[in-house]
Structure 1
Amino acid sequence: MKTQADLPETTRYWFDVAMQWSDARWGDEMGLLRHPLDDGPATDIPKEMIDRAFTVRDSVWYAAGLFMRRQDGDLARAYQAIESILTYQFDEPGTPYHGTFYRYPGEDHPGNDPIIWKDYDPNWREFICTVFIILLREFEADIPEALQAKMVQSIKLAAEGAFWRKVDAEYTNISLMSAFLLDDAGRRFDHAEWQTYAFEQAELIYSLFKRNDTFNEYNSPTYYGIDFYALALWRKYGTTDAYRQLGAEMETGLWRDMADFYHAGMRNLCGPYDRSYGMDMTDYLAASGLWIGAVQSSELAPLPDVSQPFDHAADFYLMPVVALVEALPPEDVLPKFVAFPGEQMVERTIEPNRTVTAWLSEKLMLGAEADNLNEERTNQFHPATAHWVMPDGKIGWLRLRSYSLVQATCEPNQLQLSSKEADDVQYIFQVRVTGASKDMIGDNRWALPGLTIELDRPDTPVTVNQDDDKLRIKFGSDGPVTMRFALE
């Protein structure tokens, strides 16, 4: 049984802060945490419900922290949270949402012809029931037998749904958790087919990783945090030596890769990002920042000021399980999370026809992804990025969003953008700077605080829109674009 008293000082600091932050958002009337409204409206919660929204998944992370903290009333509250969570699970065999959970109380039933992500989230199976598994292992003596039986049944329902779904191994964070869930459930319920599938999935995930020591869901400040959680499950709770060894090896490799992209001076991961919900880790909560924070002094952590409103705030609820499964970076990479080691180029092959280049210097870093493979685009994908230190000491940033297949590369002080598509490519940039003004943006020269960008590009119209401290810049191009960066 691991408790708050067992935590390293650096981890305990953020555990305590996160638990106090969560305590303030507990809704005793529902037995769940409130959705933290200070990060703006959640995309899956209707506007008319936002002022009374509670979160089902995140409440299980809080329950884990309550078992660890063990103050007066904590265990009773943990039982209440778990009992409440269990009431929101679907037990509807033959449906694609069987075994997953409602995302929030009052959410509409998915119906007869549900649309994934819109009407239900299948990933709640893995997020919630992997925590049930480790709670039963760590705190079995604390959990009443009747509640244990309900949790075990919940794991069974989740495993049934996960086995039916058979999530793609390249969907890294979920496939890692799903393999762990199905292996545990297969052994728990003597279901050999689940066990066999789980290990085949584990071997496939490992083989994909070992091609280039990278995950396909690459350089994600948020989902690397979930990868670390899932790999720690393998490493710490894996049912065989093979699981534990594979988990530990991939976990170490992920720490090494992330360290190469991390800029300790800016407290940010350099881009590009396959999936990201923000650009400045000191302004929004990126789950990978919790893992870095767990092994560094608090002032070095790439985390926002949690006493003030910040974006993507609900992920702060994850901190208790980070503490429970433990952050274990290899000792030799720790210095990179303390101080910037100096200018460097980083090059990676993610998979065939997908490569990444990044350049990091003391006050400016650039990231680029040349993707010749994946035509589908979401607003989480940022194939070209820049971060720099502005005169006021804050981080300015730039990201490219394009719905075309873009090949971006970088070298010191320069980004190169191109596309193999025959038609004009629409390049859409978002820039965040102090004192933003549309006057900063010219057709071929952008004069930003602390940074000037010169562009070589076809002579096409440029449109600029402003939203507070953010500028949105759009232009078309039927040829390559070169961006040259000069710090002032």
Structure 2
Amino acid sequence: MKKSLVIYVFFALQFFVAKATENDDIYTKKYTYQTLSTYQKRLFEEVLADEIPAGTSIEDVLTDNTSLRSKTRLAEALLFRNATGDKEKAVVILRWILKNQYQDENTKIYGIWKTSIKNDKFDQNWREFIGCDLIIIRNKFRNLLPENIIKDIETGIIHAARGAFKRNVAPDYTNISIMSAFLMEYVGTEFGLDEIKNAGLKKARDIFKLYQTNKTFSEFNSPTYYGVTLIGLGLWREFAFSKEIQEMGKALEKDFWHEITIFYNPILKNMPGPYFRAYGMDMTKYFAITGTWIALAVDDEKLAPMPLKKGPKYGEMSNLAPIFNLGLSIPKNDLMKLKAFSKPQFITRNIPNNYKGDSIKKVTAMMNKDWMMGGLWGNKRVWEQIKTGTIHWKTTDGDIFWLMTLGDGKTNVKVSETQMSIFANETQPSSFEVFVYAKNLTKEAFTPTKWNFSGMTLGINTTLKITQIDSIEDKKLHEGYAVSDEITGIFKIVFEIPANWDIKKPLVEITPKK
């Protein structure tokens, strides 16, 4: 590392840690199974019951099609509970997991575990996901496990760290890079692999430095991956050997919770868009890992941004195991913001992001008590997980309806305090789409100047012709648009863009009116 960068990181860290503790009272919670609240314990037990149905042996659930990641967390959860027979079941699971790692150093997939025995996706991120969970198990539960299992865990995480070193994921791949830095620093330090340890330290510093550029992570505003980022920072806080990484982790975690609470609306139980990576539009209708963290923090089912019953993406609840084992660390002021709406605010962010398009992407968002909206400018990456424009509102019966534009590379979106404006980018698309969810929706709701829904009227200002108004099948919604919400009543509205459209002019201006 260059001397100037070392000096920068040192002083930035001193300043940032000082700010992290300045006038900030941190609420911390170290969980044990015995200290879980009634609500937390119910969530935990429901996950275990889903993973091991009554009357089913542990061997029966280790099928060729099951996820090795979720089963690693199942072992972690069983050891956390440690009821009669739990550690024996965990041993069976761990023996099965540990024999399903690719350990040939000469392959690209070196150090990963299978995603499943059949239909393996060869996902390189499984080094970090499973490797980090195994590190938690090694640290917290080694006294419950046979020595040969511990030795196999150590062999597995060494292979994973060596593979992560070869891959060298970039710091802007936020959730994976944070876990990768930890994996390499931990393994390198514990087992005397200095090159790997130093690579982990460097990556952690690079992540920290990148965050400082705009006080945001590159994987911005993801209801799912923000939750993984919190797990990664918790690993830095709890298990990193380096004091420097521990302090960077605490400082980033504190600042990150502050960012989450700025973008979280406890009345709507959602974050506004735009979403850089999202599997849904409403956290009360699909399971998002950030929603799980918030649910545990507020410790109240009525305030929790989660579905009330099992539904889409329920498998993400396996993250309860690492979350409980890492514990909660959140500023008390931010914890209060998760429980009650404070005040309307207009938010802007510059995001250092390398998706196709601008290297700095512009985010604008408006937060109101019962409606909110957000827009993304500068993205050209075509990816259904990206939602470039969103509006959420509360209906008269308390439901959440929404509007979105997808990350299809066609448009730029910005919002003001009162209006969303959608622009064509320089690719000169011939059309673009807007998607709307509202129960009991019909085509008649979409007039040329006004769209009427329960709890919201959207004023429409455009000279464009609407060429299609189609309902979307549920299966297509989930698979084609990365909207996992358990809902019906989606319409796609297609606007035709004339040739040689002036990209400085908005295609459509949408004005929400409650």
TM-score strictly above 0.5 = yes
Pick the aligned partner of 1:209 from 208, 211, 214.
211
Deviation at 1:389, TM superposition (A): 0.8
1:287-346 CA-partner distances (Å, limit 9, x unpaired) = 00111111112221101112x4x1111101111211110121111111211111122112
Number of the residue aligned with 1:15: 44
1:312 alignment partner AA: K
Residues 13 and 242 (structure 1), Cα distance of their counterparts in 2 relative to 1, 3 Å cut: farther
2:340 alignment partner AA: A
> Is residue 485 of structure 1 aligned with residue 497 of structure 2?
no
Number of the residue aligned with 1:357: 364
2:307 alignment partner AA: P
Provide the C-alpha distance between the structure 2 equivalents of 1:90 and 1:298, rounded to a whole number of angstroms: 41
Provide the C-alpha distance between the structure 1 equivalents of 2:453 and 2:313, rounded to a whole number of angstroms: 27
1:99-139 CA-partner distances (Å, limit 9, x unpaired) = 1122112225xxxxxxxxxx421001100011111111111
Provide the C-alpha distance between the structure 1 equivalents of 2:169 and 2:154, rounded to a whole number of angstroms: 22
Q: Does the CA-based 8 Å contact 1:11-1:323 persist in structure 2?
A: no
Number of the residue aligned with 2:241: 239
Provide the C-alpha distance between the structure 1 equivalents of 2:223 and 2:255, rounded to a whole number of angstroms: 16
Pick the aligned partner of 1:370 from 377, 380, 388.
377
Residues 24 and 412 (structure 1), Cα distance of their counterparts in 2 relative to 1, 3 Å cut: farther
How do 1:79-228 residues align onto structure 2 when only pairs under 5 Å count?
79-107=91-119, 119-228=121-230
Number of the residue aligned with 1:391: 396
Number of the residue aligned with 2:23: none
Q: Does the CA-based 8 Å contact 2:52-2:58 persist in structure 1?
A: no
**Unaligned residue ranges in structure 2 (runs of 5+):** 1-29, 353-358, 473-487
Residues 145 and 88 (structure 1), Cα distance of their counterparts in 2 relative to 1, 3 Å cut: same
Provide the C-alpha distance between the structure 2 equivalents of 1:259 and 1:272, rounded to a whole number of angstroms: 16
Q: Does the CA-based 8 Å contact 1:453-1:483 persist in structure 2?
A: no
Provide the C-alpha distance between the structure 2 equivalents of 1:88 and 1:32, rounded to a whole number of angstroms: 16
Residues 388 and 277 (structure 1), Cα distance of their counterparts in 2 relative to 1, 3 Å cut: same
1:37-69 CA-partner distances (Å, limit 9, x unpaired) = xxxxxxxxxxxxxxx731111111121111111
1:293 alignment partner AA: A
Deviation at 1:406, TM superposition (A): 3.1
Q: Does the CA-based 8 Å contact 1:222-1:277 persist in structure 2?
A: yes
Provide the C-alpha distance between the structure 1 equivalents of 2:191 and 2:431, rounded to a whole number of angstroms: 53
Q: Does the CA-based 8 Å contact 1:91-1:99 persist in structure 2?
A: yes
Number of the residue aligned with 2:308: 305
SS in 2 for 1:263: coil
Number of the residue aligned with 1:471: 491
How do 1:330-349 residues align onto structure 2 when only pairs under 5 Å count?
330-349=331-350
Q: Does the CA-based 8 Å contact 1:398-1:429 persist in structure 2?
A: yes
SS in 2 for 1:77: helix
Normalising by structure 2, report the TM-score. 0.84
Q: Does the CA-based 8 Å contact 1:7-1:323 persist in structure 2?
A: no
1:303 alignment partner AA: M
Q: Does the CA-based 8 Å contact 2:236-2:245 persist in structure 1?
A: yes
Provide the C-alpha distance between the structure 1 equivalents of 2:307 and 2:91, rounded to a whole number of angstroms: 31
1:359-379 CA-partner distances (Å, limit 9, x unpaired) = 1112211111122xx432210
How do 1:415-426 residues align onto structure 2 when only pairs under 5 Å count?
415-424=420-429, 426=431
Deviation at 1:456, TM superposition (A): 2.2
More deviation, 18-27/463-472: 18-27
> Is residue 5 of structure 1 aligned with residue 12 of structure 2?
no
Residues 33 and 471 (structure 1), Cα distance of their counterparts in 2 relative to 1, 3 Å cut: farther
Name the Cα RMSD after superposition: 2.1
More deviation, 283-292/393-402: 393-402
Normalising by structure 1, report the TM-score. 0.89
SS in 1 for 2:306: coil
Provide the C-alpha distance between the structure 2 equivalents of 1:94 and 1:145, rounded to a whole number of angstroms: 29
1:347 alignment partner AA: T
Pick the aligned partner of 2:406 from 385, 388, 401.
401
Number of the residue aligned with 1:459: 464
Deviation at 1:447, TM superposition (A): 2.1
Deviation at 1:197, TM superposition (A): 0.9
Identity value in percent:
28
Provide the C-alpha distance between the structure 2 equivalents of 1:250 and 1:418, rounded to a whole number of angstroms: 35
Number of the residue aligned with 1:116: none
Q: Does the CA-based 8 Å contact 1:56-1:102 persist in structure 2?
A: yes
Q: Does the CA-based 8 Å contact 1:404-1:421 persist in structure 2?
A: no
SS in 2 for 1:88: coil
2:125 alignment partner AA: N
Number of the residue aligned with 1:322: 323
Deviation at 1:487, TM superposition (A): 3.7
Residues 327 and 25 (structure 1), Cα distance of their counterparts in 2 relative to 1, 3 Å cut: farther
Q: Does the CA-based 8 Å contact 1:399-1:430 persist in structure 2?
A: yes
More deviation, 84-93/152-161: 84-93
Provide the C-alpha distance between the structure 1 equivalents of 2:442 and 2:34, rounded to a whole number of angstroms: 50
Q: Does the CA-based 8 Å contact 1:32-1:81 persist in structure 2?
A: no
Pick the aligned partner of 1:449 from 447, 450, 454.
454
Provide the C-alpha distance between the structure 2 equivalents of 1:33 and 1:280, rounded to a whole number of angstroms: 32
1:81-115 CA-partner distances (Å, limit 9, x unpaired) = 1111122211222211111122112225xxxxxxx
Number of the residue aligned with 1:54: 66
Q: Does the CA-based 8 Å contact 2:394-2:455 persist in structure 1?
A: yes
1:132-172 CA-partner distances (Å, limit 9, x unpaired) = 11111111111100111111111111112111111111000
Number of the residue aligned with 1:41: none
Number of the residue aligned with 1:45: none
SS in 2 for 1:168: coil
Deviation at 1:70, TM superposition (A): 1.0
1:71 alignment partner AA: A
SS in 1 for 2:302: helix
Number of the residue aligned with 1:290: 292
Q: Does the CA-based 8 Å contact 2:221-2:277 persist in structure 1?
A: yes
Provide the C-alpha distance between the structure 1 equivalents of 2:116 and 2:448, rounded to a whole number of angstroms: 46
Residues 33 and 380 (structure 1), Cα distance of their counterparts in 2 relative to 1, 3 Å cut: farther
Residues 303 and 264 (structure 1), Cα distance of their counterparts in 2 relative to 1, 3 Å cut: same
Provide the C-alpha distance between the structure 2 equivalents of 1:441 and 1:461, rounded to a whole number of angstroms: 10
More deviation, 429-438/13-22: 13-22
Paired residues in the alignment total 457
2:196 alignment partner AA: W
**Unaligned residue ranges in structure 1 (runs of 5+):** 35-51, 109-118
Q: Does the CA-based 8 Å contact 1:270-1:365 persist in structure 2?
A: yes
> Is residue 276 of structure 1 aligned with residue 278 of structure 2?
yes
Deviation at 1:19, TM superposition (A): 3.1
Q: Does the CA-based 8 Å contact 1:401-1:427 persist in structure 2?
A: no
Provide the C-alpha distance between the structure 2 equivalents of 1:2 and 1:360, rounded to a whole number of angstroms: 33
